[in-house]
Amino acid sequence: MRYFSILAFTLSLLISINVNGQTDESALKTIYSTSLTNGKSYEWLDYLSNEIGGRLSGSKNAELAVQYTKAELEKLGLDKVWLQPVMVPKWERGEKEEAFYLIENQKKNVNICALGGSIATDENGLQANIVEVHDFEELEKLGRENIEGKIVFYNRPMQADLISTFNAYGGCVNQRYAGAMEAAKYGAIGVIVRSMNLRQDDFPHTGSMSYGDLPVEQRIPSAAISTNDANVLSVALKSNKDLQFYFKQNCKQYEDVPSYNVIGEITGSEYPNEYIIVGGHLDSWDLGDGAHDDGAGVVQSMDVLRLLKESGITPKRSIRVVLFMNEENGLRGATEYARVAKENNENHIFALESDAGGFTPRGFSFSANDTNFNQVLGWQSLFKPYLIHYFEQGGSGADVGPLKTETNVVAGLRPDSQRYFDHHHASNDTFEHVNKRELELGAATMTALVYLYDKYGVNPITKETEIKN
C-alpha cells in the first residue's frame, strides 16, 4: 500500500513535467503563441467561406468542402487522412421566397425564408388569414374552429434577459422545429415563425423543422420571418384581425445522396488505442457562407492537430480531427461516426466539439461524471492567464453527444454567445463577422485541453485502481 502511495506521488511529480522538460504552463503558452502568430484557422475559413460558401448537406458546395478539407489535412503530415461514407438528406431552397400581407389593399412586403425540410407552397403561393400565437398551449386553446384554413404565426421572442443566448434559443426553437406539425393538427394550411434572433433586423433565419409522422398529404409549408417584420405584422394584426397573408416558397426534398465525414489522425505513440477527437460540422445552412456555424469549428479543429505538431508535442494517444457531415438537418455524420467507432471497439476517452461560433472563447461545458469533472477543474487555473476559465458540467455538442459513455468525457468549446444568434442560420453568417484573433484563441483553447487529456488521460482514479489491482 505504502509502496503504491510513494509511487503515485513520484508519478504525480513526474507527470507535471513532460519529456521536453516543459511544464503545462509553458506548453500552453507555446500553444497560444503559435495559434496567434502562426495559426492557419483564419486562412482556411476564408477559403471555406469565400471560395466555397454555404455547404448544405447533399449540395455541390458540401462536396467541394469535403475535397478541400481532406486535401488541406493531407498537407499537414498526419498519420492518416480518410473519408468516411455516409448517406445524407438533400433539400434545396429553389428560387427566393416571396411574402407580403395586405392591409387596406396595400401590399406590405416582408422578409421570409423557407425552413429546412419544409415543403413548397403550390406554384401560385398561398394566401389566407393569419393567426398569431406564442406557444402550443395557446394554439390548443384556439382550437380547430379558429385555426382551420388559416396560417399560424408563431411569435414568441427569444428571452432577452437570459445571459446564455443558447438558453434563450432553447426556449423558442420548438416553434420552428415542431410548429408546422402542431398547427397541422388543427387544420392550419401554413406556418410563419418568428426568427430565432435576439436582434431587431431584416434577416430571416432558417433551420431544421420536422413533420414527425404526419402523413405527406397533411404537411404544410413553413417559413421564418425576420424579427422586424414579425413585430410589424403583429402590430398590423392587432388593428386588423382579418388581414390576408401571402407567401410562396419553392423548396424541394430529394432522395438521400452519398457524402462523407472527413477524418485525420495522429496515431498515439504510447496508447494508440485510446482516442481523443476534436471536431465541428462541415455542412451549413445555405443562406450565408456558414462562417460561424460551423466553419469556425471546422477550421479550429483542423488547427488543433497542426498546432500540436507546430508546438513540438508528440501525442501519446491517438488524436483525430473529425469534420462531421449533416449536423444541421439530420446528424447523419455524427451517427455514422459513433456507429463505426462502436463497431471497431474504439475507446474514445475524450471528444471535443466547437459548434457555438468563432467568438472569444470563455471555457468549456463538459458532459462528465463527478470524478472526471473534478479532474478537469484541476486544470482550470492553467486557462486563467487567457481569461478562459468558465468550466461547466452539463452539455457538449450535437456531433460528439453520440460518443458519450459512462466513463469518458465529451465537451463543447464555449465562446461568448451574445452575438451568435444575430448570425445563426441567416444570410449574414459570413466570414467578415468572424474575428481572426477570437477564432485563433478558440483553436488554441481546444488544443490546450487536448494536450492535457493526451498527457494525463481520463479518469485517473480508475487508472490508479487498475494499478493497485
- Sites of contact with Zn ion (CB under 5 A): 293-294, 355
Q: For residues 282 and 279, what is the distance between their CA atoms, to the nearest angstrom? A: 9
As separate numbers, helices (DSSP H) first and strands (DSSP E) second, the chain gives: 15, 16
**H helices present in 171-226, as ranges:** 173-184
Place of cell 474504439: 346
Residues 6+ apart with CB under 8 A from 74: 81
Strands 361-367 and 409-415: antiparallel
Measured from the CB atom, the residue of 355 and 422 that comes closer to Zn ion is: 355
Check: CB of residue 179 under 8 Å from CB of residue 222.
yes
The neighbour count for residue 446, using CB atoms within 10 Å, is 28
The least CB distance from residue 325 to Zn ion, in Å, is 12
In 195-300, beta strands by DSSP E: 222-225, 244-248, 252-266, 271-281
Angle value at C-alpha 67, between 64 and 69, nearest 5 degrees: 105
Q: For residues 325 and 84, what is the distance between their CA atoms, to the nearest angstrom? A: 10
Report, as residue numbers or ranges, the catalytic residues: 327
Place of cell 407552397: 121
The least CB distance from residue 282 to Zn ion, in Å, is 10
Measured from the CB atom, the residue of 286 and 355 that comes closer to Zn ion is: 355
Q: For residues 132 and 114, what is the distance between their CA atoms, to the nearest angstrom? A: 18
Measured from the CB atom, the residue of 293 and 303 that comes closer to Zn ion is: 293
Q: For residues 391 and 365, what is the distance between their CA atoms, to the nearest angstrom? A: 6
Measured from the CB atom, the residue of 336 and 355 that comes closer to Zn ion is: 355
Measured from the CB atom, the residue of 229 and 355 that comes closer to Zn ion is: 355
Measured from the CB atom, the residue of 166 and 386 that comes closer to Zn ion is: 166
Residues 6+ apart with CB under 8 A from 349: 274, 275, 276, 317, 408, 409, 453, 457, 458, 459
Question: Which H helix or E strand runs over 364?
Answer: strand 361-367
Measured from the CB atom, the residue of 116 and 460 that comes closer to Zn ion is: 116
C-alpha 239, offset from chain centre: 40
Check: CB of residue 18 under 8 Å from CB of residue 403.
no
